[in-house]
Chain A
Amino acid sequence: MALLEVKNVKKIYTTRFGGSQVEALRNVSFSVEPGEYVAIMGESGSGKTTLLNILAGLDRPTAGRVYLKGNDLARVKEKEMAAFRRQNLGFVFQDFNLLDTFSLRDNIFLPLVLSGKKYPEMECRLEPVAAKLGIAGILGKYPYEVSGGQKQRAAVARAVITRPQLILADEPTGALDSRASDELLRMFAQLNRDGQTILMVTHSVKAASTAGRVLFIKDGEVFHQLYRGSLANEQLYQKISDTLTVLATGGERR
């Protein structure tokens, strides 16, 4: 059974006074199998963020269904949504979304605290995660005291510490320099090899080329998809670039 199933999702935004309507997603369908590493690509305004918000349960689709492990997200009650998201999803954002009020350790603990976990258990969970992400030495520091790469690694630690079914990453390399980006992508690949399912939205070809599968969204629809197969990162990079060129120059639909 697919871990995530998106079926004919449609999203229409109505402007504040009900005047004009904007179609952000027209008809999106795809699924993600357990252990997969999927990248979703598209230009600004293609509906990537809307899609991610819907997958994250932050927004509801106008039509269509989203299933996580067979659970219909639309059926989850408003009250239980926060807990549901905490238990099943991990998030990594472009701008890290770390709180300056917390040390890195407390930032990572945040979802566990919200779930009512005991302190010793949190410590137990943190140790291996911090070691894997190479932030064990800076856990006591505050976000404003560390570099962007370190911030993003702390954010990844926060996402994985709840042992989520699925990690949703929104432009995770968007605010990083190339070295930090490479490092982060290597960690994503490592996490994926350890069995973590990842869904990443990006418009960085470099980032997408580390994924196992790349979906292209244009004008609110899945336009195309590429499988890594046995390709190396560089080869996948080339294929993605070609696809993007076709997309940009208005090539024929599949």
Chain B
Amino acid sequence: MSSRIYARLAVTNIRNNKKTYVPFLLTSVLTVMMYYIMDSLARSRDIGNQNVTTILMLALGILILFSVIFLFYTNSFLIKRRKKELAVYNILGMGKGHIAKMLTVETLLIGASSMALGILGGLVFGRLMHLVLLRLLRHDIGITFRVSGISMVYTVLLFAGIFFLIWLYNLFQVRLASPAELLQGSAAGEREPKTKRILALAGLAALGTGYYLAVVTDNPLEALNTFFVAALLVVIGTYAIFLAGSIAILKALRRRKSFYYKPNHFTVVSGMIYRMKQNAVGLANICILSTMVLVMISTTVSLYAGMDSIMDKRFPYDFGVRVYGTDARAQVDAIVEEELSARGVEEEDGIAYRYGGGAFIRQDARTFTSQASVDYTADGVWEMYFIPLEDYRALENDPTPLAAGQVIVYSAGAPYGENAISVEGQEFQVAKEVRQFKAGARETGDDVTDRLYVVMPDEASILDLGAVNASYGYVRYFDMSGTKADCEDAVWALADRIQAEVPGSLCENRLLSEESFFELYGSLFFIGLYLGIMFLMATVLIIYYKQVSEGFDDRERYRILRKVGMGMREIRRSVRSQVLLVFFLPLLMAVLHVAVAFNVVNKLLVMMNFTDTKLFMGCTAATVLFFALLYAAVFAVTARQYCQIVNE
């Protein structure tokens, strides 16, 4: 046969299967486009910030993984549907070699057009995405979007690779099977599945453990580890439950004769059992993808929306400076006075003190020891700050005298409550526990660990502890009052001078860090939305494919049911309840996952200084609602498709 024929056959085949191939082509075009845009953004030299680039690169990795799995998965749908058609070609005298050639041309066609259209789309929408990203990062430098040749090369290489794999898989499918098997292709696997009790129980156990971990976590530092373990367990549990649990439940329903032998349940329950084997993985996929979309969008939106409060929390004072050692104390004070008075800016609510601090393990109620390497996820980690009495008096106007071996304590959380304290093996008597302390009033750190402030009689006794010598130094925080321009001016001047003149100093201010904040949270937000949309698209497509292929599978069933005496109305009702079940089960499960994950994700956000639980709750609720609406819309569209196919 001449190669012309293969080309013609390939085109005809694609056209004849357009109900399944058009969505596939659309997906691969979109996937290529999303990849190209992300790639060119990640490689863009205009985004100079390392954080942003790292995040974009990470997202790129996810995209690659996702593209491979997703295109492969949808392709397996297609080839399964087409096995019969290929078998007919085989029986009509086309050798497997010929079929392989035909498939090769098809894959080439689909692959090439996806890449071409995808990159074209990428060029068009890439500019938009570029603008969106920079907008989110609050960069307002005039930037030109360039056509990235290297990204094009990478995109083509990646997708050529993916389509090569798809091609290999398809050939393998054809080569393996005999025509008789191919003919039965889409009818295979239709036996009633066995109940896998052990798998169901294991899934339940995994899900339960995952949920338990997510709910009981209260230490944000633990949350990070817990989150991954819990997520993994929940993913495993979800698959197991959809695979085995669903069948177990359906079979239990079937055993309840009074429930099962009802017009509304009879065909639905039996039909679901019958095809749950193929359904389960798809449903679990939808569930996991939905959960990912929901968590990703709700967290990144929350972070972005809560950025101001995060920064307020992170920078409780208008300006802060910290120097190591105490030698430069006078120098820093002098610079502050000079620069403030030069601009007519007044200092307000200032605090200044010397301290040495570090992480300690609370061994028992009153014993603290420092450790060379502290595992922050362990229980009983306390941040301790040791302040000389002189500085305490200056801050608090509290004349309480301290003898040697006596301390005053202040705990930022629950009261300390003990009358003695042992630090690094030295015993101290607690002369007084105060409930108010300016140094700890505005939280300068995060809420991740407990904090204890210990006022020592003098500097020497602090240094004598040995554990905090390296961090011992001087801090000064204050607010400013004056015109906004003067204040900002003062901030920049102070930062410049202190950093230039005082070695070992660190300035903290909102203005100084704003840019990097916007870069971090802005790019997270961007990625959240970007990948969210990507996963959403995948969810929609999987749902669509499921409905269409189920429609084809069910057509015969409903034809028989109609002949045996089921009216159109009853059929429609049965179709609706089956589709509804199949459709909303994953969504319900996903929402459950999100609800359970709320605690642990919230704790994770605390790590990023985000503590506005209400805002997070609102964002999550809004995301879920929006997602559910979209889901319902997709349901309406595909259910109609399904009914059309069934009634053909």
* Interface pair B560/A99, CB less than 8 Å apart: yes
Docked Cα-Cα span, A86 to B263, in Å, equals: 13
Docked Cα-Cα span, A83 to B565, in Å, equals: 7
Cross-chain contact of A113 among B192, B266, B273 (Cβ < 8 A): B266
Q: Mark B267-310, 1 if CB is under 8 A from A, else 0.
A: 10011011000000000000000000000000000000000000
Say whether A146 faces chain B, with CB atoms less than 8 Å apart: no
Taking CB atoms and an 8 Å cut-off, the chain B residues in 224-270 that contact chain A are 257-258, 261-263, 266-267, 270
Docked Cα-Cα span, A234 to B562, in Å, equals: 38
Interface of B is mostly: helix
> Which of chain A's residues have a CB closer than 8 A to the CB of B564?
91, 97, 110-111, 114, 158
* Interface pair B192/A82, CB less than 8 Å apart: no
Binding-face segment, A28-36, A39-47, A101-109, A187-195: A101-109
* Interface pair A100/B565, CB less than 8 Å apart: no
Say whether A122 faces chain B, with CB atoms less than 8 Å apart: yes
Binding-face segment, B129-137, B152-160, B567-575: B567-575
Contact status of A58 and B563, CB under 8 A, knowing A113-B266, A119-B257, A142-B192: yes
Say whether B566 faces chain A, with CB atoms less than 8 Å apart: yes
| Chain A: minimal CB distance from B570 (Å) | 7
Say whether A79 faces chain B, with CB atoms less than 8 Å apart: yes
Say whether A81 faces chain B, with CB atoms less than 8 Å apart: yes
Say whether A216 faces chain B, with CB atoms less than 8 Å apart: no
Cross-chain contact of B258 among A102, A109, A119 (Cβ < 8 A): A119
* Interface pair A91/B563, CB less than 8 Å apart: yes
Which residue of the partner chain A has the closest CB to B565?
A86
Contact status of A122 and B261, CB under 8 A, knowing A100-B274, A142-B192: yes
Cross-chain contact of B263 among A102, A116, A119, A144 (Cβ < 8 A): A116
Which has the most chain A C-beta neighbours within 10 Å: B261, B262, B266, B566?
Answer: B261
| Chain A: minimal CB distance from B15 (Å) | 20
Docked Cα-Cα span, A158 to B569, in Å, equals: 22
Docked Cα-Cα span, A101 to B566, in Å, equals: 16
* Interface pair A101/B273, CB less than 8 Å apart: yes
Which residue of the partner chain B has the closest CB to A81?
B567
> Which of chain A's residues have a CB closer than 8 A to the CB of B191?
100, 142, 144
Contact status of A101 and B274, CB under 8 A, knowing A119-B258, A119-B261, A144-B191: yes
> Which of chain A's residues have a CB closer than 8 A to the CB of B563?
56, 58, 91, 93, 97
Say whether A7 faces chain B, with CB atoms less than 8 Å apart: no
Contact status of A79 and B569, CB under 8 A, knowing A101-B274, A144-B191: yes
Q: Mark B616-643, 1 if CB is under 8 A from A, else 0.
A: 0000000000000000000000000000
> Which of chain B's residues have a CB closer than 8 A to the CB of A142?
191-192
| Chain B: minimal CB distance from A218 (Å) | 26
Q: Mark A210-222, 1 if CB is under 8 A from B, else 0.
A: 0000000000000
* Interface pair B261/A109, CB less than 8 Å apart: yes
* Interface pair B261/A114, CB less than 8 Å apart: no
- Residues on B lying within 8 angstroms of A by beta carbon are 190-192, 257-258, 261-263, 266-267, 270-271, 273-274, 557, 560-570
